[in-house]
């Protein structure tokens, strides 16, 4: 797979997956490698969930190979914003005070059709503006 595939639209990736020109596993692996390579400059990913993404990619690939296609996003990696509560994955909501927070439930069902590549996309804690001190005095 060429890196050019990483810059294709979702519609193009969907066609490539259905035609078996690329696999969900290949696509996910390459997106993760690219994100890990670029993140030191971009500060875009708070939590990498490579194991989860690869597990979901393998499951999607097995289904697609059997002809079970769940929808247009099935097998396409994606990242969730850190503002979405995600069960079992640190969810900081962009705030250093929640850096260690791991929730028992998810705000929404996030893994219906795609391969979750990197939940918790957002700025690193040291780049988040700190809250202003409480205002003193009366209004």
In a structure prediction context, what are the per-residue pLDDT tens digits for the chain, which is 139 residues long? Answer: 677 888 999 999 999 999 999 999 999 999 999 999 998 998 888 888 899 899 999 999 999 999 998 888 899 998 888 888 888 888 888 888 888 888 888 776 555 445 454 444 444 444 444 444 444 443 3
For residue 82, give Cα distances in angstroms to 4, 18, 24, 99, 101: 27, 30, 23, 11, 11
pTM: 0.73
Report the number of distinct structural domains present in the chain. Answer: 1
Q: Is the residue at 68 inside a domain? A: yes
Q: What is the pLDDT of residue 120?
A: 43
| Residue that the structure tokens 């391969």 belong to | 115
Q: Tokens standing for 85?
A: 């509560």
Alpha-carbon gap, residue 52 to 17, rounded angstroms? 20
Query: CA geometry: angle at 124 spanning 120 and 125, to 5°?
Result: 110
Q: Is the residue at 19 inside a domain? A: yes
Q: Is the residue at 135 inside a domain? A: no
Q: Is the residue at 56 inside a domain? A: yes
Domain, as residue range, for 118: 3-126
Q: Is the residue at 137 inside a domain? A: no
Q: What is the pLDDT of residue 114?
A: 52
Q: Is the residue at 86 inside a domain? A: yes
Q: Is the residue at 62 inside a domain? A: yes
Q: Is the residue at 20 inside a domain? A: yes
Tell me which residue of 87, 93, 119 sits closest to 105, measured CA to CA.
87
């Amino acid at each position: 797979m060429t890196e050019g595939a990483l810059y294709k639209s979702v519609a193009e990736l969907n066609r490539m997956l259905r035609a078996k020109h690329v696999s969900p596993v290949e696509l996910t692996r390459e997106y993760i490698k690219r994100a890990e390579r670029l993140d030191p400059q971009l500060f875009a990913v708070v939590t990498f969930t490579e194991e989860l993404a690869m597990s979901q990619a393998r499951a999607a690939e097995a289904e697609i190979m059997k002809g079970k296609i769940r929808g247009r996003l099935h097998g396409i990696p994606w990242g969730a914003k850190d503002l979405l509560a995600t069960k079992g994955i640190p969810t900081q909501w962009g705030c250093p005070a929640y850096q260690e927070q791991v929730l028992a439930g998810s705000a929404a069902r996030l893994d219906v059709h795609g391969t979750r590549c990197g939940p918790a996309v957002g700025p690193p804690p040291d780049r988040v503006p700190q809250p202003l001190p409480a205002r003193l005095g009366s209004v």
